[in-house]
Amino acid sequence: MEIQVSESAGVRYLHFGSNWVQGAMRVARPWALELDYTRAMMAALLLRPAADWPRSVLLIGLGAASLTKFLYRHRPTAKLTVVEIEPAVVAVARQNFKLPEEDERLRIVIGDGAEFVAASQQRFDLILVDGFDENARTGMLDTLPFYLNCKACLSSSGLMATNLLSKRRGVRDALARINEAFADRAIALPSCDSGNVIAFATSGAPTTFQIGELKTAARRLKEETGLNLQPTLSCLEQSNHCPAGKLHF
């Protein structure tokens, strides 16, 4: 796989042998989330608003390390495990995208994400799935066995967030597989401008969120981290997931 790095208007981009953007970092703000879909994935923090959540995170697919760096900086009590199948991606992320060195909080595993969750005995509060090859294919990361294994790896309060592409056929089928694995405990955000669809799933106790409560949590998160999730909440509010201003999840 050919890995390329480009830069334009203060933003550094990661590519896998094409113009397709696999990750991005604003050079002046390396810890911030530059791409819309990465910000949308962090809406998980609104669904579990405790300051000490998550304590354990599994990230499948490293890319430009945007999600890894954000959580490393803003959730200092969290232990992060990153599974990346391509060693060269890790090297490029360190050289060009300020991926921190491994320590007691950050572990990098070179391997297949589907195989990792199938074999893991560990439980995670948050699983983030963002793995694509140079042709935007997910392989085993969008299969019913994979989603079932992710569910088995979640803690009692755990969430899975996965990045799907509406520009690929099969998003509806992918959501059906997620719902089957998680007993219809999944929601999908409206598609980002980039064509990314972010889905969340859980097997924990059902919770009802008032939109006003989520907006309050979003304001607090913005004050703490600079992350603005108000646009994400506006899209969610306009979706069919929030009848009468309530999100049941």
Question: Among 130, 142, 173, 184, which one carries the catalytic annotation?
Answer: 130
Q: Which pLDDT score, from 0 to 100, does residue 194 have?
A: 67
Q: Which pLDDT score, from 0 to 100, does residue 135 have?
A: 61
Mean pLDDT in residue range 18-41: 92
Cα distances from 100 to residues 16, 68, 225, in angstroms, run 21, 9, 18
Domains of the chain: 31-206 (3.40.50.150)
Question: What pTM does this model have?
Answer: 0.95
Q: Which pLDDT score, from 0 to 100, does residue 118 have?
A: 97
Q: Which pLDDT score, from 0 to 100, does residue 158 have?
A: 96
Q: Give ∠ CA 111-117-121 in degrees, rounded to 5.
A: 115
CA 198/CA 241 separation, integer angstroms:
14
Residue-averaged pLDDT of the chain: 92
**Taking 70 as the threshold, does the pLDDT of residue 238 lie above it?**
yes
Specify whether 130 is catalytic: yes
Mean pLDDT in residue range 8-28: 91
Judging by beta carbons within 10 Å of its beta carbon (0-12, 13-18, 19+), is residue 129 exposed, middle or buried?
Answer: buried
Mean pLDDT in residue range 80-88: 96
CA 83/CA 28 separation, integer angstroms:
27
> What DSSP character marks residue 152?
H
Q: What does the pLDDT look like over 162-195, one tens digit per residue? A: 998 755 567 889 999 999 999 999 999 988 776 7
What confidence category does residue 136 fall into, taking pLDDT thresholds of 50, 70 and 90?
low
Q: Which pLDDT score, from 0 to 100, does residue 196 have?
A: 84
Q: Which pLDDT score, from 0 to 100, does residue 138 have?
A: 75
Place of tokens 């983030």: 128
